[in-house]
Structure 1
Amino acid sequence: MQHDNNTGVIDTGNKVRRWITYVAGIYILTLGLSLAVRAGIGISPQSSLTRTMTLVLPPLTQGNFNLILEIIMLIATFLVSPKTFRAANLLAMIPALILALLLDFNLSLTTWIHLGSYPPKLVLLFFADAMLAFGLFLMIRANLVLMPIDMFVNTLQQKTGWKWGNIKTAFDCTLLALSATIGLLCLGAPHFIREGTIINAILVGQYIRLYFYLHNRYTTRKSTAPVISNPIAD
């Protein structure tokens, strides 16, 4: 998981605090994903694929399919660059499993949400994308373990020298095409791909930039704040 100018955001301190931040980020991210599903006007490419698969093979949950996708990406990472693959890379499955469990938990937690008119759905999607982006921001800040999908994109970038953003965009478009194709072949029409998919693609990146900006502004203000001396101590 990469982001421009993220060095000032990275937490290099206490490992326990960073793990708490990381798991909190996963939870907030999965809650955002769940709310985006409940908005019902389109979700992210990755979510659209795993959500579509729940309609094709209903006994399995979206969390199950998300975990399967992460396993496939871990295998793909090995195939792209077997010489640089380390046993430690397998640790990426731990946060992937946590994400899968929390995603299913939050989806079950939000089943009561049923919105009729379009404006509330749009507002919910905007809020969901803000939560999703904040979860990603916290995970970037914790700087611990890459999810297999991000590991795959990073490995491909190192192998090819292509820009990370271009690879990620191509990857997302591939997932979107798979989702649409599977939906068309197995369900008669693509599902979960609507205007919300485009909104998600635009908003999440902008929200993360906003969180980076706010964090950097806060830390700058904190570091330049005048120290008030204690006249009694002097």
Structure 2
Amino acid sequence: MTEPLSGKPLLKRSLLLCFGLAVMALGVALSIKADLGTSPISSTPYVVSLISAISVGTATILINAFLLLGEVLIMRRQFHAVQFLQLAVVILFGWLIDLFLWALGGLTYADYGQQWLICIAGILILGIGVSFEVTANLIPLPGEGLILSLCTVLPIKFGSMKVIIDVSLVIVAVLLSFLFLGGLFGVREGTVAAAICVGLVAKSVNRVIRPLERRLTE
């Protein structure tokens, strides 16, 4: 954000951010229930949850806390204290993921086609949530914050850096899965589909809700 906000604009952006996080969490939960592989950003937390028996939401919070620490180490004196609010954002996000996983506990599938239907729904919903989270333009999740931090010190554009971080998280998930679980878990064809399509969905939704950005500052 280019300037501080207060009053109504801050409240509007905060509510939009919370809405975006809730929609994103629902998308993540659906991706997990589809059992075709989670989105890249959730692949490592999901595998960690299988290894440690902690919830996916808790694993998401812990891993994002490490990503936030990475931001601090990269930015050093340029890291502003207000950015520690990213931790509050990811705590809410992790809690919402666990809430939706609980709410969707009875969701099952009978065949591979139904798995894909659930997976596609998760991708669409996750993309919509990302669009609202970005439109809020308030406090990013640590994963996004780390990408922004790296882009300030390296001559790499945001999109390219996001691909690097996403691929790195998937590689970590694959390694952890084979080392501790004896096979591949959490990374499948659905992970590839999410990597390709979530951003495209978010961009399409952004075109529709772009007028909302102006109203957020009124």
Match of 2:123 among 110, 118, 129: 129
Residues of 2 paired with 1:160 and 1:170: CA distance? 13
Aligned positions, number = 208
CA deviation vs aligned residue, 1:116-172 (integer Å, no higher than 9, x gap): 211121111111111111111111111111111111110100111211111111111
**Structure 1 CA distance for aligned equivalents of residues 37 and 43 of structure 2:** 8
What is the match of residue 38 of structure 1? 33
CA distance in 1, matches of 2:36, 2:147: 28
1:210-229 aligned at under 5 Å gives the runs: 210-216=204-210, 219=211
Specify every segment of 5 or more residues in structure 1 that has no aligned partner in the other structure, as ranges. 2-12, 220-234
Q: How does 1:144-183 map to 2 (within 5 A)?
A: 144-183=138-177
What is residue 196 of structure 1 aligned with on the other side?
A: 190
1-side partners of 2:179 and 2:15: how far apart?
Answer: 42
Superimposed CA distance per residue, residues 39-97 of structure 1 (whole angstroms, 9 cap, x where no aligned partner):
11111122121111111111x11111111111101111111120201211111111111
1:91 and 1:205 map into 2 onto residues whose CA distance is 24
- Among 93, 112, 116, the residue aligned to 2:106: 112
Which of 181, 185, 195 is equivalent to 1:187? 181
CA distance in 2, matches of 1:46, 1:150: 10
Amino acid at match of 1:96: V
% identical aligned pairs: 22
- 2:60 equivalent among 36, 53, 66: 66
Deviation sequence 1:187-217 (CA, Å, 0-9, x none)? 111201111011111110111121122335x
SS in structure 2 of the partner of residue 82 of structure 1 = helix
After the TM superposition, which segments of 4 or more aligned residues of structure 1 sit over 6 Å from their partners? none
CA RMSD after TM alignment: 2.0
Residue 79 of structure 2 is aligned with which of 71, 81, 85?
A: 85
Task: Considering fraction of residues, name the structure with more helix.
Answer: 2
> Which runs of no fewer than 5 residues in structure 2 stay unpaired?
2-7, 212-218
Instruction: Work out which of the two has the higher radius of gyration on C-alpha atoms and give 1 or 2.
Output: 1
Q: Give the equivalent residue in structure 1 for 2:214.
A: none
